[in-house]
Chain A
């Protein structure tokens, strides 16, 4: 029996796949099991294939794998789509009374549980609960204590009243009983152990929103776009409780300009979007940097270019975040690596934005943003959150940053590149900010010397950050290995899990996961110490591989995936194995 268990529900968009999956994931989490979820969805409201997958274990799970143990198939296509992942002994729960499922054939070696989902749901009070009947059936098939499901149902439907909760519990019982009564001899060799642990379950977008509130963000402006919308959805209704405000703007241009306005007024301010929105925001991004306004811009990447594949994974916006915008723009680009890191990197993004008075990109991706993961609650330890507002001047200290005639110097030339910041309303601080090149007071200038001084001053912030901030990569695997695998973003978890598969094949690797993409750590020593360097990323051209080659003057091997699906641990291990083997053959 495998250490972990993989379950999925699939059907058409509009079938309630998402909420059903979430109820089951929550039930597992409440039973003290670790959970990692993934979504396979299409860009449409109703119809089309969609699935919600849950991987669970009593150990930490960090990625998806190519394996399905129990599948709730609401449509025949659900079985077709997942055939590769089903195996001998896999259980398929389906409703044979549903017209489209009547002639469905269960592949050889698998166990089909024909459960009249709709009819039993109606018996419990309404056809809408048919997915919950399937969850009850799944509990029986896996010997999972149905009381954990009850607890999750209460959490999800509690607001709708006790009778709705009771009906759902009843629906689950009917599914459970149907399997118990009709398949007493079925070989259902699955066992979902429970533990005493209390885990929380959340996705990357939610963690970014939570991080923003924890960091004292008060203003959010955004425009709905997949897969970043959940950040806005999370903040709306919560940030107000902490004195903040959410605005749904008329477009991405308005969103970043609203956020810029709030930031100029002194609020910690943020916008989130995906690649197409980043394109639209590029011009204002330059103004944010030149006016030295602290602002956090979240890019939850999806497949591009253009509209690309809005509901599919990719890490294709790296170059845009590193170089996007005309002229040369000092900035930070941070890439969280897990759902938990989405929280911490958001907090850090606000501190860096204010300490250095720059725009900060948070480079998240779809695989992380819509993926739910379980954590110990103290992984989100609010006591560990620190706020650093940087060089804000008050009415007394402002005198040190004024000209002889009393003009404030918001762009004062300083050694560390960071100038004093007067928040509007501060007496004696009135000043102009502009995207035009300016002097220390913010007044337009074309003076050649001042131009050079201001450009150097702004760029100096990055040098200062390199000195003051810990930009180290996160390290996993065998520290002494000659094989170095480098990655960024959501691939980290998959790579860590791939270690196990590589060990089985007697391959040791050292993993560096780089959360600071700009400014980034110098990896020259690490690269020189390794025989082979492999860079893993979800894009076709190897954008990060290009920049580290440039940094270290050393060629690297590349493992790229750009079909819209995130890496899976076993598959990635195989890719790395092949890449290493290929280079050894060449040398031989």
Chain B
């Protein structure tokens, strides 16, 4: 069936309510294309979405999906994948969802290395609550709740991921459609937690981190002789305060997913007995 799947099969009949020009359109299209390109179909795909503009993505895509509570999408995705490793699991959220309320889960999801992809639509602003500072907002970025700027450094999600033991770290830009799709595809194909921070500009509330800004400033690592398997090189790149990069910053080619490490290979939804499992009486015997 998968050979006949087109990326439009992943589109739902709901019209997105994102603002015209929102970066999330491009982010989502790339995700759908990457899913189709990697041989998935809506019935074997599970999308977990967070809260906020980015969280709406589950509604606009067609697959098995859940729209979680704020910040908790990652553990939901991990639970889905552990319970049925045959499903393709993709978690999508925003910078507030992932790096503020969900920062703790982010660190642990990275450590756990469940084979799923995590797409963060990073627009460096809270959009749906109408323009407050987010954890990735610049130190001097003036918003309704931070009129003098947050006056604290932004979270560096790439460095946080690397420090937490990530096996796949990438960054992409929603309007560079082809590269974005390629990068998400690589995250899907990675055996473990494929983390992609996507610059997905907010055209309504963020007049600093704009399409033009990213178009002019992003350095595509694919156009350099960068070796993403070199962890030391990755350290340098993720801590580089002067430049922002696009592409795969780090990939551990020896990565083994949580499911592999823990021997999870069956679909736990199946219960092949109508009562207790056959040797369950052994459980009683041990209390003699």
A interface residues with partner B (beta carbon < 8 Å): 30, 198, 200-202, 206, 210, 213-216, 218-219, 221, 238, 241-245, 247, 249-251, 253-255, 257-269, 283-284, 286-287, 291, 377, 380, 382-387, 389, 405, 407, 423-436, 443-444
Contacts and interface: CB of A to CB of B under 8 A. Distances in A.
A216 B108 contact: no
A213 B268 CA distance: 13
B277 A425 contact: no
B243 interface: no
Contacts of B75: 221, 249, 253-255, 257-258, 261
Contact of A218 (B46, B59, B72, B268): B268
A198 B287 CA distance: 11
B78 interface: yes
Given A258-B78, A382-B276, A425-B43, 6 more contacts: A200-B287, A221-B75, A244-B268, A258-B79, A260-B79, A425-B64
Nearest to A422: B64
Interface in B78-92: 78-84, 86-87
B151 interface: no
Interface residues on B, range: 35 or more
B276 A385 contact: yes
A180 B275 CA distance: 53
22 contacts: A206-B287, A214-B280, A216-B271, A242-B280, A245-B268, A247-B78, A247-B82, A257-B69, A261-B76, A261-B81, A262-B83, A263-B79, A265-B83, A380-B284, A387-B271, A387-B274, A424-B43, A424-B84, A424-B87, A425-B84, A425-B86, A432-B67
A264 B80 CA distance: 7
A245 B262 CA distance: 9
A218, A255, A432 interface centre (most CB from chain B within 10 Å): A432
Given A380-B284, A387-B271, A435-B69, A429 B58 contact: no
Interface in B237-273: 262, 264, 266-271, 273
Given A200-B288, A432-B59, A219 B268 contact: yes
A443 to B, nearest CB: 6
B58 A216 contact: no
Contact of B268 (A200, A262, A430): A262
A384 B87 CA distance: 34
Contact of A425 (B12, B67, B77, B267): B267
B283 A213 contact: yes
A262 B273 contact: no
A427 B5 CA distance: 13
Contact of A214 (B83, B274, B277): B277
A243 B284 contact: no
Contacts of A254: 72, 75, 104-105, 108
Interface in B104-161: 104-105, 107-108
B108 A265 contact: no
B42 interface: yes
Given A258-B76, A383-B275, A284 B69 contact: yes
A587 B271 CA distance: 59
Contacts, number: 212
B239 to A, nearest CB: 25
B146 to A, nearest CB: 26
Contacts of A387: 271, 273-275
A251, A283, A382, A424 interface centre (most CB from chain B within 10 Å): A424
Contacts of B108: 249-250, 254
A30 B287 CA distance: 10
Contact of B80 (A265, A383, A429): A265
B224 to A, nearest CB: 36
A210 to B, nearest CB: 5
A269 B67 contact: no
Given A218-B83, A219-B82, A254-B75, A429 B43 contact: yes
Contacts of A291: 66
Nearest to A284: B69
B180 interface: no
Contacts of B48: 261
A405 B14 CA distance: 13
B264 to A, nearest CB: 6
Contacts of B267: 266, 425
B63 A430 contact: yes
A425 B44 contact: yes
Contacts of A384: 275
